[in-house]
Structure 1
Amino acid sequence: MDPLFGGRGVLVCDGGLATHLEALGHDLGGGLWSARLLRDDPAAVRRAHRDFFAAGADVAVSASYQAGIPALLERGLTRAEAHDLLRRSVRLAAEARDANGGGLVAASVGPYGAARADGSEYTGAYDLDEDGLTAWHRERWHVLADSGADLLACETLPSAAEARALARLLAETPHVRAWVSFTCRDGVHISDGTPLADCAALFAGSAQVVAVGVNCTPPHLVPDLLARLGGVPGVAYPNSGETWDPRTRTWTGTRDPVAFGDAAAAWHRAGAVVVGGCCRTTPEHVRRVRDRLGRAAAPR
């Protein structure tokens, strides 16, 4: 078993950081989303991480998802200040971990589409090719790779080209561990139409990659997607199950933490070694996941 797991068969990831920050009363409007609070209210970010650890998470994912360096520079930060903000995202999660008495910090490497703020993280309709994506990610990647995080969370990837770009950056940083997770359009394909099995094959056998799978994807798709991984350890942290209506800008459907926890136990049995939640999931979702996985992973 990978030493990151410390003898545990599964790691519980946190839930929707932005969702929880909004529930705590913070306005996340604007292109930086939760990353804005790294500058304006770092204590709020630390508290959100602590709440997820208190609910039973083993891993906090840093608030660097939408903190692309070009976006930070456009908002008046110097390059040095942008780098400091990225390192702060990891430090705040680490402080919450230490207050909890243990756990891991995964530095979030969000997709190019998140920085564009045009929804392309769910389509893969990018204006950059693999070389361009490698160049776009490189500076932030190296800052986060040397930030002291336990691993990188390469998350919400919609395109095979972006996955290949991050694989190239992994090769530049052999000391780094990571998981890689994709947004998916159905139970077979990631958002740009590439079979998830082909994307998983990019990382099969890599000593640097602890898991491959899906996030920010409807939970009902997760079982079929995990079955496509070809034996690669899985990661699964989907959305709550609600649906976003872009016309009314509202969420519809039911947010049921109990059902989410039950489903998470099934994802673990299907091969997911990292399990948690993404958009619209709360500390209560994580608490239910922790409870169910604690029992699911117990010896029979």
Structure 2
Amino acid sequence: MLLLDAGSTSILSKIPVEKLETSRLWTCEALVQFPNEVLQHHKQYLQVCDIISTFTYQLDESIYDEQVEKIPLLEAYSRSMTLALQARQETHLPNKYIALTLGSHAATIPGAMEYRMVYDKPDDFDMLYNFHKNRIELFQASNPEAFKQIDFLAFESLPHITEALALLKLLADYKSWNKRCWITCTCPSIESLDRVKQILTALLDANSQYIWGVGVNCCHISLLPTITNALTELFKSHADKTIMLYPDGRGFPNPYTTSPNSETKPAPSPQEWAESSFEYSTLNSGNIVIGGCCETDIRHVDQLRSRYN
């Protein structure tokens, strides 16, 4: 098992409420306003985790306003990578990896559309292909040397199979930019499971040499037994791929979705979250990455690391 960090949501408390209410950048806003906090965030997680992720989930030219943010978009792209690289260099810890976090296209659309967006128009495939292609090319152009040192491309929170198919073609066309890549989709409720299985089946059955791992992010721990049963079946003939699993630390149901047949469950404590997540650390013969998603923080992954050790 490799341990992924808990993402970037724990830094939201550092961003003024009035800024969060108007910004579409979400946690990416910290890159602009609080770069030192981002650096310290990375350093803290490097003490516990094998992989840290950049503050770039929603960072895209379509929602970035240079007049408002006061720094050029390319500087923000570059800063996201250099802060993670600086943290790794200054902590002097071996075998630590950096993932460039790339949220789905739907993550740039207000209303938490990464949980329910459907792409069924004739031109959606090309639009999604170009969305991801252009964004990665901007990251690369912003700081070619830093981009070379990034270990993983992490495509997160896919809501629909069309985006998965577009990414399959893109990664093959560009040979995944010579990086290991993983793709995850959201599973906010049991009702979402058929969609999840459709996406993951397409990704695994492609047998792409450019996909290192696939799995699920943004799910409540109460869904883990059902999700992991599905993952176990899907990976029976794909053991060479890595399972990605990073559940939320918040309550259920997810406030941005509907799950009419589910009882309400409170947010788990960090200990409960870690205990639930640790149960699945041996899936796929241990070829799995486990981390935290929404409303998890260093306490959650620290508890998980303690159990694994």
TM (norm. structure 1) is 0.82
Q: CA deviation at 1:62?
A: 0.5
| Superposed displacement of residue 171, structure 1 | 1.7
The answer (yes or no) to whether the contact 1:268–1:275 under 8 Å persists in 2 is yes
Which of these residues, 240, 245, 249, is aligned with residue 255 of structure 2?
245
**Counterpart residue number, 1:93:** 84
Describe the SS at the equivalent of 1:182.
strand
- Within a 5 Å distance, the mapping from 1:111-122 to structure 2 comes to 111-122=104-115
Partner SS state of residue 184, structure 2: strand
Q: Secondary structure at the residue paired with 1:209?
A: coil
Tell me the distance in 2 between the aligned counterparts of 1:208 and 1:105. Answer: 17
Moved more, 142-151 or 86-95: 142-151
Q: Provide the rounded CA distance (Å) in 1 between the counterparts of 2:265 and 2:307.
A: 26
Matches within 5 A, 1:185-264: 185-186=188-189, 192=195, 195-204=198-207, 206-222=208-224, 223-230=228-235, 231=238, 232-243=241-252, 244-245=254-255, 253-264=266-277
Letter in 1 for 2:30: L
Q: For 1:68, what is the secondary structure of its paired residue?
A: coil
Q: Tell whether the 8 Å contact from 1:159 to 1:190 is kept in structure 2 after alignment.
A: no
Corresponding residue of 1:67: 59
Aligned residue in 1 for 2:288: 273
For the residues of structure 2 that align with 1:268 and 1:150, how far apart are their CA atoms?
22
Q: Give aligned pairs, total.
A: 278
Matches for 1:134-213 after TM superposition, within 5 Å: 134-144=129-139, 147=147, 148-174=149-175, 175-186=178-189, 192=195, 195-204=198-207, 206-213=208-215
Q: Which has the higher helix share?
A: 2
Gaps of 5+ in 2: 258-263
Residue identity matched to 1:239 = D
Are the counterparts in 2 of residues 240 and 280 from structure 1 also a CA contact under 8 Å?
A: yes
Q: Percent identity?
A: 25
Relative to the length of structure 2, the TM-score reads: 0.80
The superposition leaves residues 252-297 of structure 1 with CA deviations (integer Å, 9 ceiling, x where unpaired) of 7133111222222222212352111000101000101111222xxx
Q: Amino acid of the residue matched to residue 246 of structure 2?
A: Y
Deviation at 1:225, TM superposition (A): 3.6
Provide the residue aligned with 1:5 in structure 2: none
* CA-based RMSD: 2.8
- In the alignment, the residues of structure 2 paired with residue 179 and residue 138 of structure 1 have an alpha-carbon distance, to the nearest angstrom, of 16
Distance 1:284 1:76 in 2: 34
